[in-house]
Amino acid sequence: MKKYFDQHGGLILLEKIKSNQGFGFTIFTKQQVEQATNNFDNVNILGYGGQGTVYKGILSDQIVAIKKCKIVDENKKKEFGKEMLILSQINHKNIVKLLGCCLEVEVPMLVYEFISNGTLFDYINNKRQESHISLTTRLRIAQESAEALAYLHSSASPPIFHGDVKSTNILLDQNYMAKVSDFGASILAPTDEAQMVTLVQGTCGYLDPEYLQSCKLTDKSDVYSFGVVLLELVTGKPVIDFNAPEEEKGLSSRFLTAMKEKKLNELLDDEIKSEDNMEVIMEVAILAKECLNMTGEERPTMKQVADELERIRKLKQHPWEQAYHPEEIESLLGGPSHHIEIEHIGSFGLEKKAEKVIAVGR
């Protein structure tokens, strides 16, 4: 056990903890995490992921989530302690707090705060509640998640790229506030490019096309994946539909086709489809389309996405401040149309370029 502890940089962590009394991070023993999870009993499993299994546990009378990882990069074992120091200092209300780790095992285990209301994926799919989810709530969760990712990209030092943004990695607390989780997943993934070809970080349906080609994770990889989460929020549909034709299996492909053909209305979640919501939904759709740009450089940053979602939320709350004509929204969504030309100016675009949508009448 001492061998593993030393390999993972445990001494560096210990020195930091001893020298800084206010350092809110704990190194747990193997015995502690085994007792906390009743020796990793299956009844305590909270969920499975590509990087490992998450268990519910009790440590020092506190309910926690313990991630038992599958792999660790051999070349980075000595750096693990340093990386834990970086991740442990992340403090954001919309990011799950990393409380500590266990290093006395071959693959380190991570200990996070426990978030009680499950995942955004479950919430969208009505697995954990009976009432419908309003557009207002969906927009709030989207903005909170975007703010968390923007913090990781812009305020963390050094910047952290999530690498696996998806609705199952966005948790909801007792007040249904969004909490981005698994933000340390990428540090446990292999970084050797030869390995990365076979062990691609991320999840099918959310993966940045550029990343699939280069195997280089960037901040814009997270932006692409977040664009897919936006689609889940407004459509309520699965990211991959295995029963659909090949070209329509991916939600992003179906969405881009629907936008092109002015048939977005057919994809939207019935729970939020209403005349009052259409303008706001179209704003979210245009933002999602920018996030899903095939070229990373042309996507907005997560900070720009968060700012745009804040603007859209204000538009939802005070629609009279920024109103569109109903016939314009109808044409974009495939409803009754007129021969019009619309020019939408995005407030977040790198060049604030206009997106023209031509709607031809019957």
Summarize pLDDT for 139-186 with one digit per residue, the tens. Answer: 999 999 999 999 999 998 888 888 889 999 999 999 999 999 987 655
CATH classification (class only), 120-359: mainly alpha
Residues 6+ positions from 175 with CB-CB distance below 8 Å: none
Q: What pLDDT is attached to residue 195?
A: 41
Q: What pLDDT is attached to residue 358?
A: 29
Residue 78, sorted as left (phi over 0), alpha (psi -120 to 50) or beta, turns out to be alpha
Long-range pairs for 313-322: beta carbons < 8 A, 24 or more residues apart: 313/136, 313/139, 313/140, 313/143, 315/279, 315/280, 315/283, 316/135, 316/136, 316/139, 316/277, 316/280, 317/136, 319/276, 319/279, 319/280
Average pLDDT, integer, range 246-264: 91
The most confident of the ranges 42-51, 60-69, 303-312 is 303-312
Four-residue CA torsion sign, 293, 263, 325, 276? negative
Average pLDDT, integer, range 184-195: 50
Q: What pLDDT is attached to residue 85?
A: 78
Percentage above 70 pLDDT, the chain: 77
Q: 112: closest CA among 187, 188, 171?
A: 171
Average pLDDT, integer, range 278-300: 96
Read off φ and ψ for residue 225, nearest 5 degrees.
-60, -40
Q: CA 28 → CA 64, 108, 175, 190, distances in Å? A: 12, 11, 29, 24
Q: What pLDDT is attached to residue 95?
A: 96
Q: What pLDDT is attached to residue 287?
A: 98
Residue ranges of the chain assigned to CATH 1.10.510.10: 120-359
Average pLDDT, integer, range 99-122: 92
Residue ranges of the chain assigned to CATH 3.30.200.20: 2-113
Reported as a pLDDT band with limits 50, 70 and 90, residue 192 is low
Four-residue CA torsion sign, 33, 39, 43, 45? positive
Between 27 and 340, name the one with better pLDDT: 27
**Does the pLDDT at position 224 exceed 60?**
yes
Instruction: Report the DSSP pairing between strands 98-102 and 26-28.
Output: parallel
Reported as a pLDDT band with limits 50, 70 and 90, residue 75 is low
Q: What pLDDT is attached to residue 359?
A: 26
Pick the CATH number of 2-113 from 3.90.1010.20, 3.10.20.30, 3.20.20.80, 3.30.200.20: 3.30.200.20
**Does the pLDDT at position 196 exceed 70?**
no
Give SS3 for 46: strand
Q: What pLDDT is attached to residue 138?
A: 97
Reported as a pLDDT band with limits 50, 70 and 90, residue 281 is very high
207 close to 216: Cβ distance less than 8 angstroms? no
99 close to 64: Cβ distance less than 8 angstroms? yes
What number of other Cβ atoms are within 10 A of residue 215's Cβ? Answer: 17
What is the average pLDDT score of the chain?
Answer: 81
Q: What pLDDT is attached to residue 119?
A: 93
164 carries an active-site annotation: yes
Q: What pLDDT is attached to residue 309?
A: 98
Q: What pLDDT is attached to residue 357?
A: 38
110 close to 149: Cβ distance less than 8 angstroms? no
* Active-site residue (options: 41, 164, 219, 307): 164
Q: What is the DSSP string of 53-117?
A: EEEEEEETTEEEEEEEES---GGGGGGHHHHHHHHHT---TTB--EEEEE-SSSS-EEEEE--TT
